[in-house]
Amino acid sequence: MNELDRLAESVDSLKNHLEVHRYICSNQIATAVYLAYHLRKPVLIEGPPGVGKTELAKTTAEMFQLPLIRLQCYEGLDESKAIYEWKYGKQLLYTQVLKETLDEVLQGAQGFRESVGRLHEFGDIFFSQEFMEPRPLLKALQEEQGCVLLIDEVDKSDHEFESLLLEILSDFQVSIPEIGTVKALREPPMVFLTSNNTREISDALKRRCLHLYIPFPDMELEQRIIHARVPEIPELLRKQLVAFIQELRDMDLKKVPAISETIDWARTLLLLHTETLDPDLVRETLNVILKFQEDIDNINTDIPSITHKAVNA
Amino acid sequence: MDRTLTSFISALRTAEVRISPAETLDALSAVELTGYQDREFLKNTLALVLPKTIDEKETFDNTFEEFFNFVDISAQRTKSDETDGDRGDDGATSSESQGRGSGSRSQGAGTGGGASQELTDETDSEDLGRGPLAEPTSRLGQLLMRNDRIELNVQVAKSAKAVRLEEIQVFTQKGLYTRRILDEMGLAELQREINSSKESAELPIRRLGRELRHRQDWLREQVRDYVEKQFLLHADAQGLRLREELLRKVKLSNVEHRNFRLVQEIVYRMAKKLVALHSRRKKVFKRGVLNVSRTLRHNMSYDGNIFDLHWKSVKVDRPNVFAICDVSGSVSNYARFMLMFLYSLEEVMPKVRSFAFSSDLGEVTELFERNSLEDAIAKTLRDYGSGSTDYGQALLDFRKKCSNDIDNRTTIIILGDARNNYGDAHQSVLKELYDLSKRVIWLNPESRTTWNTGDAIMRKYTPYVHQAEECNSLVHLERVVSNLLRTVQ
């Protein structure tokens, strides 16, 4: 564990280590990981799509060399898919077996009272760990060395599921009616929740979490990110394409390009052996960064001026 | 140290960032971990723990800059005149006084210069020379002469705490609190010393008296600044809350125009809250996805033979509402608010259809969808508000337009005073609607006693509504809608 502690000794050290794992981040983000590690509080990450919310959890797991357990949320997700489920088939078999051995158990019993007494003595394992199938949340609690638990796109799940999460988020335990409370083993997991803001997350959930908002990066940070992710790209082109993207983000678009789009674009341009941006090239590769035809049509006329601006930036 | 944080949190709360006690505890433990040494680190840390929405983050940034602004001040340090002597320590060290006293210090440079200016003026009237000073005897005098700003600020903060400055509510109390803080700090004792020094024959004592007087004036100013700052942090928003509370109770026709925005916000929040509270319910289904665990558990008693099936499904249920609003002259004062409420309701509830009438009735649902609130209301009043009221005609129109869409899940709300200009009431139409729908609710802005006076014919309509209520303030409105949503389910 000591090694991890040394890793998380300070915000700067975390930031550097995240960078080693090719995740370039601001101080705010590194501070969030720092607090999550030391306070063992879940982090709720919000922000536009494609700014690296999920990636942060993945990289953190990689950095701490912990297993990553991921729960993808969707409408209709419930406890049987998130926490635990009984192995029904085996349970049914067990009742069959039980029926057959009943005679042996009750052999020689005098009267009803004694029979029931014998039955009670007989171990009841119908609802027990043996017949339980752990799902991601329970698995995360049972990891010996701790783990990183990623609850992805929590805003896509229902209200009920949110309430289900409260117990695990605040106390790192889940209550299973038939068995009792299952607590985290030695090391509680580091929990990251991500949300795209499709709906408002309840106050109760927010209250239990650190709240991290990841905005689009500024020019400098984005350049460093591209440098880390696509190191082969020449510096001049990198500057130009980041400037272009930054320019696009200020425009009125249905969906503005995120970091992941910038990275894709950088890879595309690299593949085409581009050295510098020009309007025709931009027009041809625009569908990598803009995902709506409407947006593409809208900026079509502006491409030369934006390109010019980006090239001369 | 913790006090600084709690007072920062209360400042955040007045700036409308919602922070629960649990989050306060989180903040304390987070700060325990990070310490106050690094300002950016502290800000990043608190930004993770306290604000929980994007809007709140912005407010947080501003409040943080306001509250912990001592670094900027030490940067604008100018010449090292006497009163500014120990400004250098201000930096990033963090004592309670610095957080709280930052306001007073921000004025330090200006008043410091001013004080030395006055000093020379005074020497003209009474030349005492620049010789040695006597030792001050009063407690406050000693403090002032020690010239230790940090300690002074601590004292100001302590005294402010003692006189409960954080309870300040309106700006007229500022003078009072300034006075109280000074008294608490021992002003009386200081003044006695100053007075007695005047009569003294010894030069050093008289010089001291003069110096003390200057410093007393300076202190007074510092305290006033401090009070000002605390007022902004603690009381400004309380005034807002007070106003909101008042607006909820006042009659809608009496709300002044400048408060419309505020009312609008209250109405919107109200509508949203009500819908959120009442829109979900569970319904047992006869088909859908099999609920395996429940099915098995229920069938355990049948030897594990599965024949009693259980399904799972949740239905999100939103009431189906038709709202008819009278916008004629007699209710014009209320119509704005009723329309405002309809508009807000439509924003949060997908299945509201709105109608407006004075003589002829028309549907305004789309108008509301397409336009901003102000425009929508203005257009509605323009299009429908000119005629003279005819409830009978409006009901006929409504039946013609919507009778096919009304079923036993529908609620019809009628907003109006039932002043029919002695026309035909057509209450039979209302009866038809009453039979068709689940509920008919009539909200009348006039008080119950006037419901049947003059040309008002409430009495003809009341037999055919499930509920008739007086409704002329936001509190009424809230109650009615809450009932409505509850009974609709």
* Cβ neighbours of A43 in B, within 8 Å: 48
Tokens 């038809």 correspond to what residue?
Answer: B432
A159/B contact by beta carbon, under 8 A: yes
Q: What phi and psi values does residue B316 have, to the nearest 5 degrees?
A: -85, 120
Q: Is B316 exposed, middle or buried (0-12, 13-18, 19+ CB in 10 A)?
A: exposed
Task: Say if A169 is an interface residue toward chain B (CB within 8 Å).
Answer: no
- The more confident residue out of B146 and A244 is A244
| ipTM entry | 0.82
Q: Which residue of B has its CA nearest to A99?
A: B303
CB contact under 8 A, A213 and B304: no
In tens, the pLDDT along B343-389 reads 777 766 667 788 888 877 888 888 887 877 778 888 888 888 777 78
Q: Check pLDDT > 60 for residue B106.
A: no
d(CA B125, CA B324): 81
Average the pLDDT over A237-253 and give the result. 88
> What's the average model confidence in pLDDT over B463-472?
83
Please, how many CA atoms are within 13 Å of residue B473, restricted to the half-sphere of its CB? 11
Give the per-residue pLDDT at A148. Answer: 92
Share the mean pLDDT of chain A: 87
Banded pLDDT at B237 (limits 50, 70, 90): low
Calculate mean pLDDT across residues B464-479.
Answer: 79
Q: State pLDDT tens for residues A256-276.
A: 898 989 999 999 999 988 888
Confidence of residue B102 (pLDDT cuts 50, 70, 90): very low
Q: Who's near B109: CB < 8 A, 6+ residues apart? A: B76, B77, B78, B84
CA–CA gap between residue A64 and residue A43 (Å, rounded): 16
Q: Do A86 and B57 touch (CB under 8 A)?
A: no
- Res B255: pLDDT: 61
Q: How far is B50 from chain A (nearest CA, A)?
A: 8
d(CA B148, CA B153): 9
Element (H, E) at A215: none
3-state secondary structure chain B: CHHHHHHHHHHHHHCCCCCCHHHHHHHHHHHHHHCCCCHHHHHHHHHHHCCCCHHHHHHHHHHHHHHCCHHHHHHCCCCCCHHHHHHHHCCCCCCHHHHHHHHHHHCHHHHHHHHHHHHHHHHHHCCCCCCCCCCCCCHHHHHHHHCCHHHHHHHHHHHHHHCCHHHCCCHHHHHHHHHHHHHHHCHHHHHHHHHHHHHCCCHHHHHHHHHHHHHHHHHHHHHHHHHHHHHHHHCHHHHHHHHHHHHHHCCHHHCCHHHHHHHHHHHHHHHHHHHHHHCEEECCCCCCEECHHHHHHHHHHHCCCCCCCCEECEEECCCEEEEEEECCHHHHHHHHHHHHHHHHHHHHCCCEEEEEECCCEEECHHHHHHCCHHHHHHHHHHHHCCCCCCHHHHHHHHHHHHCCCCCCCEEEEEECCCECCCCCCCHHHHHHHHHHCCEEEEEECCCHHHCCCCCECHHHHHHHCCEEEECCCHHHHHHHHHHHHHHHC
Q: Across-strand partners of B311?
A: B290
pLDDT band at B313 (very low <50, low <70, confident <90, very high): low
pLDDT for position B252: 59
Test B26 with A85 for CB contact under 8 angstroms.
no
Find out whether B357 and B320 touch, Cβ atoms under 8 Å.
no
| CB-CB contact of A20 with A227 (8 Å) | no
Bridge partner residues of A69 (DSSP): A149
Closest alpha carbon to B323 in B360, B365, B358, B272: B365
> Taking residues B266-278, what's their average pLDDT?
66
% of residues, chain B, pLDDT over 70 = 71
End-to-end CA distance of chain B: 52
Higher pLDDT pick, A270 / B71: A270
Query: What pLDDT, on the 0 to 100 scale, is given for residue A29?
Result: 92
For residue B479, pLDDT over 90 is answered with: no
Q: What b/e readout covers B328-358, taking b as 16+ CB neighbours within 10 angstroms? A: bebbeebbbbbbbbbbbbbbbbeebbbbbbb
| pLDDT score at A60 | 93
Give the closest of B52, B54, B280 to A206, CB-based.
B52
Joined together, the tokens standing for residue B330 give 């007699």
Share of chain A above pLDDT 70, in %: 99
Nearest chain A residue (CA) to B313: A76
The reply to whether A12 touches chain B by the CB within 8 Å rule is no
- Cβ contacts below 8 Å, chain A against chain B, sum to 66
CB contact under 8 A, A159 and B57: no
Q: Across A170-288, where does the E strand assignment appear?
A: 173-176, 180-183, 190-195, 210-213
Cβ contact B44–A159 (<8 Å): no
pLDDT at residue B79 tops 60? no
pLDDT greater than 80 at residue A299: yes
pLDDT at B348: 63
* Model pLDDT, residue A79: 82
CB contact under 8 A, B293 and A207: no
Considering only the beta carbons, identify the residue of B29, B41, B304 that sits closest to A31.
B41
- In this predicted structure, the answer to whether residue B60 has a pLDDT above a threshold of 70 is yes
User: What angle, rounded to 10 degrees, do the helices at A11-20 and A53-64 form?
Assistant: 100
Contact A217, A51 (CB under 8 A): yes
Contacts of B303 in chain A (CB under 8 A): 95
Residues in chain B with CB shorter than 8 Å from the CB of A97 are none
**How would you class A43 by CB atoms within 10 Å of its CB: exposed for 0-12, middle for 13-18, buried for 19 or more?**
buried
Q: Inter-chain contact A35–B33, Cβ cutoff 8 Å? A: yes
- Residues of A with CB below 8 A from B23's CB? 207
Say yes or no: B314 contacts chain A, CB-CB below 8 A.
yes
- The C-alpha atoms of residue B472 and residue B489 are separated, in whole angstroms, by 25
Whether residues A28 and B44 touch (CB distance < 8 A) is answered with yes
Interhelix angle A219-229/A235-249, rounded to 10 degrees, is: 130
Give A200's DSSP letter.
P
d(CA A146, CA A141): 8
* AA letter at A187: E
Residue A66 predicted with pLDDT over 60 = yes
Which residue did the predictor score with more confidence, B77 or B247? B247
Q: Which among A219-233, B248-262, B369-383, B457-471 has the top mean pLDDT?
A: A219-233
- Cβ distance B30 to A206 less than 8 Å, yes or no, reads no
> Does B474 have pLDDT greater than 70?
yes
Helix (H, G, I), strand (E, B) or coil at A164: helix
Higher pLDDT, B418 or B313: B418
Place of tokens 């433990």: B29
**CA B318 to chain centroid:** 29
Contacts of A44 in chain B (CB under 8 A): 52
Question: Does the pLDDT at position B484 exceed 80?
Answer: no
Ramachandran category for residue B203: left, alpha or beta (phi over 0 → left; psi -120 to 50 → alpha): alpha
Residue of A nearest to B24 (CA): A207
Q: Is B313 on the interface with A (CB under 8 A)?
A: no
Task: For chain A, report the end-to-end CA distance as a whole number of angstroms.
Answer: 47
B277 touches chain A (CB under 8 A): no
A160/B292 touch (CB, cutoff 8 Å), yes or no: no
In the prediction, which pLDDT does A186 show? 76
- Residue B130 makes CB contacts below 8 A (sequence gap 6+) with none
Phi-psi group of B194: left, alpha or beta (phi > 0 → left; psi -120 to 50 → alpha; rest → beta): alpha
Residue contact B41–A38, C-beta within 8 A: no
State the pTM of this model: 0.61
In sign, the C-alpha dihedral spanning A278, A279, A282, A284 is negative
Q: Which of A88, A207, A212 sits opposite B48 (nearest CB)?
A: A212
Amino acid identity, position A19: E
Higher pLDDT residue, B284 or A244? Answer: A244
**B288: alpha, beta or left, given left = phi > 0 and alpha = psi -120 to 50?**
left
Query: How much of chain B, in percent, has pLDDT values that exceed 90?
Result: 1
Percent pLDDT > 90 in chain A is 21
Chain B hits for A46, CB-CB cut-off 8 Å, are 54
Compare B195 and B134 and report the one with higher pLDDT: B195
Contacts of B277 (CB under 8 A, 6+ apart): B482, B485
The Cα-based distances of B377 to A188, B342, B387 in angstroms read 55, 10, 16
Query: What residues of B are in contact with residue A11 (Cβ under 8 Å)?
Result: 41, 44
| Collapsed DSSP state (helix, strand, coil) of residue A126 | coil
For residue B485, the model assigns a pLDDT of: 60
Tokens linked to B254: 């009496």
For residue B337, give the nearest of B419, B253, B393 by alpha carbon: B253
Stronger pLDDT, A25 or B308, i.e. the higher one: A25
Interchain CB contact of B44 with A (< 8 Å)? yes
Residue-wise pLDDT for A146-175, tens only, equals 899 999 999 888 878 888 899 888 888 888
Which carries the bigger pLDDT value, residue A46 or residue A92? A46
Phi-psi region of A192 (alpha: psi -120 to 50; beta: other; left: phi over 0): beta
Q: State mean pLDDT over B174-196.
A: 85
A83 in contact with B, Cβ within 8 Å:
no
* Rounded Cα gap, residues A259 and A219, in angstroms: 11
Facing A210 at nearest CB: one of B22, B41, B49: B49
